[in-house]
Structure 1
Amino acid sequence: MNTYNFSFDPQTVEFSEEDRTISGLILPFGETGYGSAGAAEFSAGSITLPADAASIKLNIEHDAHRPVGTCTSLEERAEGLFASFRIAKTSAGTDLLQEIQEGLRKSFSVEVKDPIVQLGKISAAVLTGCAAVVQPAFKSAAIFSLDEDAAPNESIQMENETTPAETTEVVSAPVQAPAASFSGPIDQAPAVFTALKNGDVQGANFALAQIDITTPGAAVLGKQEVGEIWSSKKVVSRPITDSVENKELTSLLVTGTRKERQMSVADWEGNATEIPSGGTYTNSLVSAEAKLMAGAVRVPGEYLWFGSDDIIGDLYESAVEDYLTKSETKVFTSLSTEAVAATGAFTIVNAVDKAAQTLRGISANLDFVVVSSDIYTTLVNAKTADVPFWFNLGGATVDLANTRATAGVSFRVGDYLPAKTMLVGDRKSFTFYESKDIRLNAVAVANGAYDIALIKANALLVNDPKAVLKFTNVAGL
């Protein structure tokens, strides 16, 4: 459901501090306005009203989280739709009355849904709300309040008030199809320039969007805007980076101390003889310098003025995805270089067994197994009879969507691993430090454009490379 807004400029503003009711013409008939739905004209009978006027709330600048009043009456007259609102006794409500009194906020803006627009005229729409706004679009609406001498429950009468029309019976008749016509850019050109003259960028943008260039002799048909078209897109993941320890980067240099403490004992005869001695106790400084990664783009101003602010968010999202991909490659390169190479040929089960024994021998844990895509394919096609019992501990599972298999240990696919390759290790063997997103933006005034940039920094600290094993010749279960 799409909701559109139309605003109007009041002619008269009256204010009473005692009576907190404002009234006026919120939707004129027969005038062209330029709101978020662009160039359009309402007519009598084109707006559907709710059964309960109180369901229409008054807010500030179409912000549903800033309500200031409740509708007390709705009436369709010859001039248009009139309404009265009781303003809440809140600071926001009092501010609104003061702004009306001083001429700072003097416009009504209705909110409608499901409008049917044909050649710039709205033949049907449903009223859903109303707002007090600053930027006007029409010149025929007025905000009134009871003047100071009026009683609190007395309603004010508008000039040229008409009595409700009598109910008439409507007899249906065959509808003649309109003659085919040609609608070109000239149809909306006045609306575009009028909106720009009034400083209404939204109205101009909508008027441009309404331009229909059709084949001469063809019927003019409205367009149905459906927004962004979905397209399949691979979700960027970092299985290798996520497998090691992750922490926030707060400096461009990460340092730590690696301690070696070993002391052995042996049989001793006692009787004041010399005690056997032997051991090592060394400290070594380990450091990792943070690397910066960044990207920037200049966006022409017209893409935002006449388009959507979404483009900025979309560009930042694209930059982050590219960063994730390239940082994963760097982590893989570092782990492959530092890891202990396991020589020889292995099956998947033999490689896991070898890694488990090696890690246990140095008091490390088997926390992760990252495999190449061909090894993962072998796991997916494995049969129960072909795998050891620990594949079924707790129930083996294969997550095809996220390329992950769990069978006593968790297997994840690393897109950057060459065929027949496995990385197995303790997650604390490496620590990946990563900064928060640094997003910069600036206005390039001389170019009428906007510059945006993303900067990230990361560092990979090698804690104990012996706790990661790399297998490069793995095939079969």
Structure 2
Amino acid sequence: MTDEAGLFSRVANSRTVKGLLLPFGELSSPSSSNTPPTMFSAGSVTIPRDPSIVTLNVEHDRFNPIGRATSLEVTEAGVVAEFTIATTDEGDAFLASGTKRKLSAELGSLVRNGANAVRSRLTGATVCDAAAFASAALFSLAPGVSAEFTEEVPSSDEYTAPESSSSSEYVTEFTDDEGVKWRRVETSKRETTVTKITDSAPADEENPNAPEEENMTASAAGQTPAPLVTPNVAPPAKDVDLHAVFTAMAAVKAGVQLEDNESALFALADIKTAGDGALPAAGVIQPNWVGKLWQGKEYVRKYLPLNNHTFGPIDLGGRAGFRLDGTEDLVQKRTGEKTELPTGSATTSKRESTRDSFGYAADVAAEWTYLSGGAEVLESFWKGVANSYAKVTDMEALATMFRVASRDTGAALSRMVAPGSLPAGTPANSAYYPGVVQLIQALEAISDANDDPAWAVVNPVLWSQLIFTPKDLLPEFVTLAVGVGTGEADVDGKIIVRKAPQSAFIGTKATDPQVMAGAKNAIEFKELGETPIQIDALNVAKFGVDRATVGFLETFVVRPEATVFIGTAA
């Protein structure tokens, strides 16, 4: 037989039900935990190879199984399932009632992206009054089940009520919208009794003092009872077991498979750190503040210390001195006895120092001083100013060394010496050897000026030639490398060779090697004992503090001839 809606049809000689278990492309209803609706597709659900593993229960009660799946088919509409109802009292009660027409899938390992399911695994099914999907329902029932219970079951059907004075019962209790408690008893004789519970104490037939109950009975055989009205009561919300949730999360993180781990029927609510479903609002979670970041090592002077560098008081008028010239050839060889001694004269020249000053100043708001929270930033700023002072004065010393060595007049390099050629017998395959020759040429020029060479500064071209020159071709009195990464270090008793940027070699050819060298005492640099100097002054009118960092650098060129520059002009 088929009812008016066309959902049920008689299947002869069978205890089989069939229906749409999981629709595709349809949003589910919200769960009791207010989980947002979820939509499934054919690719988002995994069907077990053995359908019998899927158990059919009543109202998601796994302790009340009534059958097993015999067929699971993926169609365009969704997963169509066929179940065989077990020959148990519970199975008989379900077949006898026929009131639960809805099917609902039970899914495990559910992962979703918003409303769309990404992955899930079909683990069970249930019959219920209200399913998660509106279109999920039974459309085929076993023989003897009708939509209205108004037709007598033919005697040819496989299922008949047992001939016994006693019958098995299936008892359920529920509460309607007005809070009234009801008990429904379904028997294997296809009788359904709904009674109102008028006392909180459980009904007991053996208790003579039990309260009276109002009975409504519907029989399925040979009579037309009053319509059975079941209150439309939503199942009560179940509390979330937080301990079970956190235990499952810890197990997943540790890679442990729980033996009794229940999967949710629907996706849990998304709780993320950003984007849709994010728990924290912008700015709620703060980053771990680590303060000032590494900006590289502080600047260490490289060129100024190559010369005679001292600290102490600097005279306002500077320093001055004289040099005696022309005394080298005053003594001559005598021509014989009783002859006049050789004679001659000498000259003097005056040398004077120069002084330069450097500094930086700022008007700092008094809030930096009186309010907390900014001391670290302000301290780092003034350390940066001091670091700048060290670099600027060092580069000023390098520029002075170049001017003295090359006699830079602003118009020409009047004392520039041309690079020498390779000496005879130099191996032709020594491509980098010319750099060594040019360095030795500069050091020899200092020796020829009756002084001891102490330092050499080369441009990047000559530096590359030196560092790639085999060790056996470098003179023992030259040091290039001990410091890792820089190739520069001070070694007692050896000549220090350091690299300088091409911009320091003004007016020279950038593609050619350039070198300048000098004696330790050729140039004197002097600074105050405490350098740089920090000066603070209150600016009451603007509620601030005027702070300045200043320093003085005195330069005294003592022996310019004890410096030399070898290279080519641009």
The structure in which a higher percent of residues are helix is 1
The structure in which a higher percent of residues are strand is 1
Q: Which has the higher contact order (CA 8 A, sep 6+)?
A: 1
Which structure's CA Rg is the greater one? 2
What TM-score does the superposition give when structure 1 sets the normalisation length?
Answer: 0.48
